């Protein structure tokens, strides 16, 4: 269950709501007991839309390709004016340093506007 499972365990211990949205194709491979809500949906697209609809804001933890794809999809939606929800990156141990440097480089090359780069809130610790 990895980092997501650890996060779910932690928020549940703190008495916070833990909602999982998972595509049918993963439902038999990944499960977590004790969730406040579990939604099984037909596709990743439906999963991301439901996560977006249920969220007041977003925080990206260190992750893989799917995390990167979700970061940029949400930032693109914001850039296009489709939402004004805050977006943060938890840059634990410098995990996202190279990505953030690349975004700064893209700004310097005029591929990304500075105000779009500034939409990303960055913290090194959750505390």
Domain extent listing, the chain:
1-54, 56-122
Q: Rounded to two decimals, what is the model's pTM?
A: 0.84
Q: Match domain 56-122 to its CATH number in 3.40.50.450, 2.60.120.10, 1.10.150.20, 3.90.45.10.
A: 3.40.50.450
pLDDT in tens, 10-56: 889 999 998 989 999 888 777 787 889 989 999 999 999 999 999 99
Which backbone phi and psi does 7 adopt, to 5 degrees? -65, -45
- In this predicted structure, what is the pLDDT of residue 1? 61
Around 120, how many Cα atoms within 13 Å sit in the side-chain half-sphere?
A: 24
Q: Are 35 and 20 in contact (CB under 8 A)?
A: yes
Q: Is the pLDDT of residue 125 over 80?
A: yes
């Amino acid at each position: 269950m990895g980092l997501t499972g650890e996060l779910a365990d932690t928020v549940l211990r703190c008495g916070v709501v833990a909602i999982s949205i998972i595509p049918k194709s993963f439902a038999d491979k990944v499960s977590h007991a004790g969730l406040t809500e579990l939604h099984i949906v037909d596709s990743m697209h439906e999963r991301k839309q439901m996560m977006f609809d249920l969220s007041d804001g977003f925080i990206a933890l260190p992750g893989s390709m799917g995390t990167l794809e979700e970061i940029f999809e949400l930032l693109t939606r914001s850039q296009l004016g489709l939402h004004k929800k805050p977006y943060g990156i938890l840059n634990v141990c410098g995990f996202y340093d190279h990505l953030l440097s690349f975004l700064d480089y893209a700004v310097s090359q005029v591929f990304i506007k500075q105000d779009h780069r500034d939409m990303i809130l960055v913290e090194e610790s959750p505390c």
